[in-house]
């Protein structure tokens, strides 16, 4: 999804009260409102494929998985985001009795849009790092086969990239694997060199 930033004087509490009544999703980063526009076909396919793959592996285990509309809070720089997919281990913790925002995600997945890729990889990731429960941050391109796995190793973050449909994305913190062929199932790319459908699993 794309984001349009608008400076606001809303406090985090005022944002949350306003956002719960808003007809469209808006993220909040250090006093800025970021209006989230609609997602592309590829974005929707990739998000659904990831959710499906993780759900099938986690449905009988002590995890919960959310898609798109679950708000996540980061602090002490108070920010609210809508990750495309979020996984939480054991009992989810929320900010209040409205059962959102989620405070303790284990894995967050963002499907990159051309207009938000730099933001998701940079400023947004730096804020996500403040969430102590977060162990893995996954960035998925919708324009080509490319998945970045960022993972916490002690006090540091490390990264590895995957570029081929035969690759498999490991999610060690939740004991799952996602073949890239599944992530990109039925996704068509505009680049002629990659204008194929990934095989159906």
Q: Summarize pLDDT for 147-192 with one digit per residue, the tens.
A: 999 999 999 999 999 999 999 999 999 999 999 999 999 999 874 3
pTM (2 d.p.): 0.87
Closest C-alpha to 25, from 82, 79, 108, 101: 82
Which tokens hold the place of 121?
């990889």
Q: What is the pLDDT of residues 22-67, one digit of tens each?
A: 888 899 987 888 888 767 899 999 999 999 999 999 999 999 999 9
Furthest-apart CA pair in the chain: how many Å?
50
Residue 94's CB: how many other CB atoms inside 10 A?
Answer: 15
Q: Kind of pairing, strands 3-7 and 79-81?
A: unpaired
Determine contact, residues 3/116, Cβ cutoff 8 Å: yes
Domains of the chain and CATH, by start: 39-71+79-194 (3.90.1570.10)
């Amino acid at each position: 999804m794309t984001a349009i930033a608008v400076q606001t004087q809303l406090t985090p509490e005022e944002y949350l009260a306003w956002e719960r009544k808003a007809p469209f999703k808006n993220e909040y980063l250090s006093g800025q409102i970021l209006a989230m526009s609609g997602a592309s076909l590829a974005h929707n396919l990739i998000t659904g494929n990831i959710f499906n793959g993780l759900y099938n592996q986690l449905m009988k285990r002590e995890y919960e998985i959310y898609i798109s509309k679950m708000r996540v809070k980061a602090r002490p720089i108070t920010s609210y985001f809508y990750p495309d997919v979020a996984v939480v281990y054991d009992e989810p913790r929320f900010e209040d009795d409205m059962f959102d925002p989620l405070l303790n995600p284990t894995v967050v997945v963002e499907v990159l849009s051309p207009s938000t890729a730099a933001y998701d990889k940079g400023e947004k990731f730096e804020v996500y790092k403040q969430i102590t429960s977060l162990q893995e941050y996954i960035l998925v391109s919708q324009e080509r086969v490319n998945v970045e796995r960022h993972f916490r190793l002690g006090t540091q973050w490390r990264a590895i990239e995957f570029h081929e449909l035969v690759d498999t994305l490991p999610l060690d913190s939740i004991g799952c694997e996602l073949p890239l062929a599944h992530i990109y199932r039925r996704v068509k790319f505009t680049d002629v060199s990659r204008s194929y459908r990934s095989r159906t699993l």
